[in-house]
Amino acid sequence: MLYNDLRGWMEKVDEFGEMRTVEGCDWKYEMGAVSEVYARNPPYSAILFDKIKDYPAGHRVLVGVHHQSLKRQCLTTHLPLDYDRNQFIQAWRQRLNNPTYIPPRVVDSGPVMENVFDGDDVDLFSLPVPHWHEGDGGRYMGTAHLVITRDMDEGWVNIGCYRVMVHDKNTLALYISPGKQGRIIRQKYFDQGRPCPVAISFGDDPLLLTAAANSLPWGKSEYDYAGGIRGQAVDVVIGKHTGLPIPAFSEITIEGECYPDNQRPEGPYGEWTGYYASGERTEPIIKVKRLMHRNRPILTGAPSSRPPGGSDDNLVRSAFIWDHMEKAGVPDIRGVACFQGRFFTAVSIKQRYPGHAKQAGFVAAQCGAGAYLGRYIVVVDDDIDPYDLNDVTWAMCTRSDPQADIDFIRRAWSGPLDPVIPRDKKGFSTRAVIDATRPYEWMKDYPKVSGSSEEMKELAVKKYGKFFK
């Protein structure tokens, strides 16, 4: 194990030069603007904010954990730091095929218990919670964090990342999109008229966030999954008020209850789609019973905005979709690439039989990792690099006939974040599955691709490359 917590991870990132510290920012709007300008533009560093206005030095906020950095994603997911995109995805595919699960280890105490506040002593504003964007409806404490709940019937612990806004010193808003496992678990409590116990952890080993943000099968805990990747159990303390396992090396945690009959306005929030699509709605609140944090705590954040500011888990999601497609029986997949968060997925296949392309497209559109809030799924032949949008759009323009090659899946899984669905109709959306492969029945007679052969190109470089140095 290279490191055990967020601080250890940050040290490693600092060693390879991808960490910057910014001092003196206002929690109101300034951290959001700096993140948008600097975390998402070269050199794509992770940014640690310190000496934040109104707060003591050492109360810090970290953003841009993975933004645009394959090296940081390799560090997080325990892969060699020099892996390229392809090696990264192949390694993840292997993992997904042979997953190892190591359950968390319960310990009596941990650094997160250095400062403990119960009941009236809880004050969420004691931490530099950012108001990220001018258009946001409040201060968002949870944008890159873990929301921990337990399924009341089966007893397993789920972790997801669902945004959390601060209402007042001990009240939070929790927004979970319809269909997410965390929402299904919460609803089971609500259906019985009971509050749902919740623990939230801010500032963890980023591997836990990667696990939390991806589609594990129902019943599999992200703790066990992350433990398997680390090769070592995650240390947890048992929450006094909820009995939930809480990362012992977390920077900041809260425990509380989320109520079925106590809702307050949540949002708007600048979402990963690049819009304020879900606007302001009422959502269940969490009453916080306990706040714990380390000395010099670090709150993690992932303020989103229009691309490239949205979700940056695309590589891991690509591997998940590839894996889910294979497990659903789609053969000869050569690549999967996600763009625009979840909205655009390109899949390349080696066509083996009539209907293979259609099968690939529909399964990619509806498998566990691909079903939520998609829009376009494009299937291309194996001579097209799905990661190269020029290649993908060339295939769309030259190998598909829109009238014949675009199919729709209507009333598919969407949600309030979908900007193209009007407010009063949110819930469903349509997928377009575009078959941009050469038509199977006359594939062999399809017009040849123009240009020089590989041999001629190699010769050109060998003989004339000197004129281009």
Ligand X SMILES: Cc1cc2nc3c(=O)[nH]c(=O)nc-3n(C[C@H](O)[C@H](O)[C@H](O)COP(=O)(O)O)c2cc1C
| Footprint of ligand X (CB under 6 A) | 143-144, 158, 160-163, 175-177, 180-182, 212-215, 302, 311, 313
Smaller CB separation from ligand X, 38 or 269: 269
Smaller CB separation from ligand X, 183 or 399: 183
Smaller CB separation from ligand X, 183 or 356: 183
Residue 454's CB is within 10 A of a number of other CB atoms, namely 8
Residue 216 φ then ψ, to 5°: -80, 155
Nearest approach in angstroms of CB 214 to ligand X is 5
Nearest approach in angstroms of CB 274 to ligand X is 14
Smaller CB separation from ligand X, 156 or 394: 156
Nearest approach in angstroms of CB 366 to ligand X is 16
Nearest approach in angstroms of CB 369 to ligand X is 9
Smaller CB separation from ligand X, 69 or 177: 177
Nearest approach in angstroms of CB 371 to ligand X is 11
Q: In what order do the strands lie in the sheet with 46-50?
A: 19-23, 46-50, 60-63, 298-301
Is 259 in contact with 285 (CB distance < 8 Å)?
Answer: yes
Smaller CB separation from ligand X, 239 or 310: 310
Smaller CB separation from ligand X, 129 or 212: 212
Nearest approach in angstroms of CB 160 to ligand X is 3
**Cis peptide upstream of residue 284 (ω within 30 degrees of 0):** no
The DSSP call for residue 126 is G
Smaller CB separation from ligand X, 18 or 266: 266
- The gap between the terminal CA atoms of the chain, to the nearest Å, is 44
Smaller CB separation from ligand X, 182 or 256: 182
Smaller CB separation from ligand X, 88 or 223: 223
Exposure string of 58-80, with b = 16+ CB inside 10 Å and e = fewer, is ebbbbbbbbbbbbbbbbbbbebe
CA neighbor of 102 nearest in space, from 215, 236, 213: 236
Question: What tokens does 305 get?
Answer: 């905005």
Nearest approach in angstroms of CB 465 to ligand X is 43
Is 375 in contact with 381 (CB distance < 8 Å)?
Answer: no
The DSSP call for residue 339 is E
Distance of alpha carbon 388 from alpha carbon 391, whole angstroms: 5
Nearest approach in angstroms of CB 149 to ligand X is 9
Burial degree of 37 (CB within 10 A; 0-12, 13-18, 19+): exposed
> Which residue has tokens 């053969």?
331
Residue 12 φ then ψ, to 5°: -65, -45
Smaller CB separation from ligand X, 176 or 200: 176
Q: Give the pairing type, strands 19-23 and 46-50.
A: parallel
The DSSP call for residue 425 is G
Question: What tokens does 225 get?
Answer: 């999954």
Exposure string of 227-254, with b = 16+ CB inside 10 Å and e = fewer, is bbbbeebbbbbebebbebbbbbbbbbbb
CA torsion through residues 175, 179, 180, 186, sign: positive
Nearest approach in angstroms of CB 180 to ligand X is 3
Is 52 in contact with 128 (CB distance < 8 Å)?
Answer: yes
Nearest approach in angstroms of CB 58 to ligand X is 25
